[in-house]
Amino acid sequence: MSDLDQRISAMHRSDVRIAWGFVLGLWLAVIFVALATWNLAPNGPARVLLLIGGAIILLFNTAAIMAMLKHYREDRDFMYGLDIKFLDAARAARR
């Protein structure tokens, strides 16, 4: 494996970890808010409506992150190769 391939793989792994960290953070935040505000809902139907809204937010945001990661995986060499090229050029210009 060449140096460029290793750098691309490392950047991709880092981005995947960060993306899943954001998904986990979103799930934890929505669950926390649901638990913290449970008693503020006036009745059962309002609670159900709020739970459905939270579930929809989690579903769509998780699906969006998964689609983004799929796109990153498909175009990985081009996107990260371009990033590395510009990062190397910027580093060389600073010297």
Interval 18-55: pLDDT, tens: 999 999 999 999 999 999 999 999 999 999 999 999 99
Nearest residue to 69 (alpha-carbon basis) of 12, 6, 2, 25: 12
In the predicted structure, residue 1 carries a pLDDT above the cut 70: no
Q: What is residue 95's predicted lDDT score, i.e. its pLDDT? A: 84
pLDDT in tens, 52-73: 999 999 999 999 999 999 999 9
**pTM for this model (two decimals):** 0.82
Whether the CB-CB separation of 31 and 80 falls below 8 Å is answered with no
- CB-side exposure of 75: number of CA atoms within 13 Å? 9
Identify the H or E element spanning 59.
helix 44-74
pLDDT value at position 60? Answer: 98
In Å, the largest CA–CA distance within the chain is 65
